[in-house]
């Protein structure tokens, strides 16, 4: 029997795209999750209980996996979680680790970005063959943020902030391709087809909803504000691939 691909984060936004694509390609898939519940069986996916931060269940989950697609992530602890995963993967002799990271991991001075950089280093320094794809913010996350902002009577919009939101489906497709290819190290970043100001993202959302709100420009203070205004979260120029699906197309599908 072919060895399974272990997908961490297989239950998340990205994982829910990646897992069916892998299954459609005929690959046996195992998902590591903290909440296996009654899952498993019907969709042909095996679920392994484990927590990457608490370092439980990882040894069993990686057992026999030829490839690990590491998509799990949370607000805190991603570096430690990745170190725990890589230690177990090393012991199990995994042949290829594919990891999703974020554009600007080494440039945006915020704790979450630093932990993404730490996670990348854990993968690259593990001694196992690896591939890392850095992606821009997904449309889904952008929508969640813009929705919260637009719920206020006056929408505070940090000036000078730009984003290149990318479709999670395009990121998922690319990851499946990478997981089924040879280890490639850092591959070109994947961003969306257009750069938008925060105000444009909010206006696009309001217009898709058919509502209006006054926008109030605010200034994001500190080092993080400076880094964002300098575009450190963007992928511009060489070493970037861009997706096709725009923010407007995503909104037309998701927002009424
Ligand atoms: N969202 C973005 O815009 C964006 C952009 C670039 C890169 N990324 C990266 O892409 C990855 C996936 O993002 P997403 O939006 O799909 O995330 P998501 O929807 O929030 O899903 C997070 C996933 O991580 C798993 N997870 C969290 N903590 C865990 C732990 N301690 N142990 C085991 N599993 C754990 C969750 O599994 P269970 O709850 O089932 O345990 C869930 O499947 C993340 O690593 C993120 O950093 C995201």
Q: Beta-carbon neighbour count of residue 199 at 10 Å?
A: 15
pLDDT in the model for residue 237: 78
3-state secondary structure of 79: helix
Which domain does 93 fall in, by range?
A: 5-254
Which atom of ligand 1 is nearest the CA belonging to 142? 3
Pairing of strands 96-102, 155-158: unpaired
- What b/e string do you get for 150-159 counting C-beta neighbours within 10 Å, with b at 16 or more? beeeebebbe
| CA 72 – ligand 1 centroid, Å | 4
pLDDT in the model for residue 43: 75
Judge residue 97's burial from the number of C-beta atoms within 10 Å of its C-beta, 0-12 exposed, 13-18 middle, 19 or more buried.
buried
Judge residue 166's burial from the number of C-beta atoms within 10 Å of its C-beta, 0-12 exposed, 13-18 middle, 19 or more buried.
buried
pLDDT in the model for residue 25: 93
SS (H, E, C) 167-225: CHHHHHHHHHHHHCCCCCEECCEEECCCCEEHHHHHHHHHHHHCCCCCEEEECCCHHHH
* Structure confidence by residue, pLDDT tens digits, 36-80: 887 766 678 999 999 999 999 999 999 999 999 999 999 999 999
Which atom of ligand 1 is nearest the CA belonging to 138? 3
Say how far residue 91 (Cα) sits from the centre of its chain: 26
Q: Which helix (H) or strand (E) holds 23?
A: helix 15-24
| CA 13 – ligand 1 centroid, Å | 7
Per-residue confidence in pLDDT tens, the chain, 256 aa: 689 999 999 999 999 999 999 999 999 999 999 998 877 666 789 999 999 999 999 999 999 999 999 999 999 999 999 999 999 999 999 999 999 999 999 999 999 999 999 999 999 999 999 999 999 999 999 999 999 999 999 999 999 999 999 999 999 999 999 999 999 999 999 999 999 999 999 999 999 999 999 999 999 999 999 999 999 999 987 778 999 999 999 999 999 7
Structure tokens at 26: 């005929």
Which amino acids bring their CB within 6 angstroms of ligand 1? 8-9, 11-15, 32-35, 51-53, 71-74, 81, 100, 102, 135, 137-138, 141
Rounded to a whole number, what is the distance in angstroms from the first to the last CA of the chain? 46
pLDDT in the model for residue 44: 82
Q: Hey, which of 13, 37, 70, 73 would you mutate to test ligand 1's pocket, going by the most ligand atoms within 8 Å of its Cβ?
A: 73
C-beta separation of 114 from 143 below 8 A: no
| CA 213 – ligand 1 centroid, Å | 32
55 pairs with which residues across the strands? none
d(CA 170, CA 140): 12
- Indicate the number of domains in the chain: 1
CATH of the domain at 139: 3.40.50.720
pLDDT in the model for residue 256: 74
Q: Hey, which of 6, 8, 9 would you mutate to test ligand 1's pocket, going by the most ligand atoms within 8 Å of its Cβ?
A: 9
DSSP 104: T
* Structure confidence by residue, pLDDT tens digits, 175-193: 999 999 999 999 999 999 9
């Amino acid at each position: 029997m072919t060895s399974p691909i272990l997908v961490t984060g297989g239950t998340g936004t990205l994982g829910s795209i990646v897992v069916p694509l892998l299954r459609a390609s005929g690959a046996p898939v195992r998902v590591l999750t903290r909440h296996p519940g009654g899952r498993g069986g019907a969709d042909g996916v095996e679920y392994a209980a484990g927590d990457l931060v608490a370092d439980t269940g990882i040894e069993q989950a990686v057992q026999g996996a030829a490839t690990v697609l590491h998509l799990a992530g949370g607000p805190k602890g991603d570096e430690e979680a990745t170190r725990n995963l890589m230690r177990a993967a090393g012991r199990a002799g995994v042949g290829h680790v594919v990891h999703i990271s974020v554009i600007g991991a080494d440039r945006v001075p915020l704790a979450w970005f630093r932990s993404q950089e730490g996670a990348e280093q854990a993968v690259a320094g593990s001694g196992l063959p690896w591939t890392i794809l850095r992606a821009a913010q997904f449309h889904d996350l952008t929508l969640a943020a813009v929705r919260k902002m637009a719920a206020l009577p006056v929408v505070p919009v940090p000036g000078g902030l730009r984003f290149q939101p990318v479709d999670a489906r395009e990121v998922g497709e690319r990851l499946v391709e990478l997981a089924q290819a040879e280890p490639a190290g850092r591959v070109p970043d994947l961003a969306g087809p257009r750069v938008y100001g925060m105000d444009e993202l909010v206006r696009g959302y309001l217009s898709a909803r058919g509502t209006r709100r006054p926008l109030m420009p605010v200034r994001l203070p500190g080092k993080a504000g400076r880094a964002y205004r300098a575009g450190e979260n963007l992928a511009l120029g060489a070493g970037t691939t861009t997706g096709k699906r725009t923010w407007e197309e995503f909104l037309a599908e998701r927002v009424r």
